[in-house]
Chains A and B, each alone.
Chain A
């Protein structure tokens, strides 16, 4: 049987969910025999493959690059997983939303609290534009599975991966749905 092709990526987040993934400890060895990791910040792959079975997306959608990446990933992925609270709710990364749009946030960070000569960061083609609102992934593209938690405990990640490897529709319940 062909191995499940897994990709992972982080957007606006702290990479804590990926750290929790690494916290799967010895199950990672079993996992390596059951899946092919085809794209992730943890390995050196430059291009997101055309066809991926499962993608775990950590973090919220906060800038133009995230937006384009999420749309591309959705088009190339069979099962898209919102991985952790930022991906599912916006969480801490969305705490800037009540302050106002991108300009207000940048002004507060770079001008109001800057030293002499403070200026807006601008580097077209290098620095992606901030979006006015940070949004969860399912507000941009349809999502198939949600893994809440900040970060989700390794056991919760394992439960979802085992369901997906076993070709079952992944569904968490009970205390596995605890946010935070």
Chain B
């Protein structure tokens, strides 16, 4: 058991275990920090920067999901600077690929759409890139539309850490980065994919979708993920 640390979040004194992250400590204290790439039950990678918080004085920007607490740590989760950055991050995600909420399967059930609302995004101040991106519907049951992918890598982590198949990974770098299946081949030809659908359940946007679902029709059900995580970590097998 790691030693107990005392820290302050938004001026409130909080106790946390030394091996906890700022995000975990804040959640236990009922302080909500917006997240996007974070998914309960799989490791955190700090990919999206939505959970940036200010630590110390002068304040340094740290991702709450991958930063461990320490004694006398001072954390601010909602300063004007952070709110500006969060809105900017969401806008950049919208500008980077072709997100068209009006014709998306996930319209109304999308974490990116919800965060835009929460960040107060009424328009995108940056130029849209309009990249030409493929849609892969070679899999019998699922499809991936790279236009809607934000590279959170939840699919990569859930496939590796919960399903144990590691069908998904990331190829290329920077703006050219793509999630790929196996050796960058059509998903339908993947020899490792078990067709379990965990990647689809984990995806925060409409990027990975169930085939034959249409606009605003797709709702995700993460209970399968929660069930497996509780069974493994807490040995609770009843739903």
User: CB within 8 Å of B: which residues of A?
Assistant: 82, 85, 88-92, 94-95, 97-99, 133, 136, 138-139, 143, 146, 148, 150, 172-175, 177-180
Contacts and interface: CB of A to CB of B under 8 A. Distances in A.
Interface of B: 94, 98, 100-104, 107-108, 113, 116-117, 120-124, 127-128, 130-133, 147, 216
Contact of A179 (B98, B101, B128, B132): B101
B117 A175 contact: yes
Contact of A139 (B103, B107, B127): B127
12 contacts: A89-B100, A92-B100, A92-B102, A97-B98, A133-B130, A136-B123, A136-B124, A177-B120, A177-B122, A178-B113, A180-B102, A180-B108
Contact of A178 (B103, B117, B120): B117
Contacts, number: 67
Contacts of A99: 132
Contacts of A180: 101-102, 104, 107-108, 113, 216
Given A98-B130, A173-B120, 12 more contacts: A92-B103, A94-B128, A94-B130, A95-B100, A97-B128, A98-B133, A174-B117, A178-B101, A178-B117, A180-B107, A180-B113, A180-B216
A82 B123 contact: yes
A173 B116 CA distance: 11
Nearest to A84: B102
A177 B116 contact: yes
Contacts of A136: 123-124
A89 B124 contact: yes
B148 to A, nearest CB: 12
B197 to A, nearest CB: 24
A75 B98 CA distance: 31
Contacts of A98: 98, 130-133, 147
A95 B98 contact: yes
B5 to A, nearest CB: 36
A89 B102 CA distance: 11
B88 to A, nearest CB: 16
A98 B123 CA distance: 20
A142 to B, nearest CB: 11
A97 B102 contact: no
Most buried by A among B100, B104, B108, B117: B100
Contacts of B117: 174-175, 177-178
A146 B125 CA distance: 12
Nearest to B122: A146
A9 to B, nearest CB: 19
Contacts of A175: 117
A85 B121 CA distance: 13
Contact of B123 (A92, A95, A143, A173): A143
Most buried by A among B102, B124, B132, B216: B102
B102 A91 contact: yes
Contacts of A90: 128
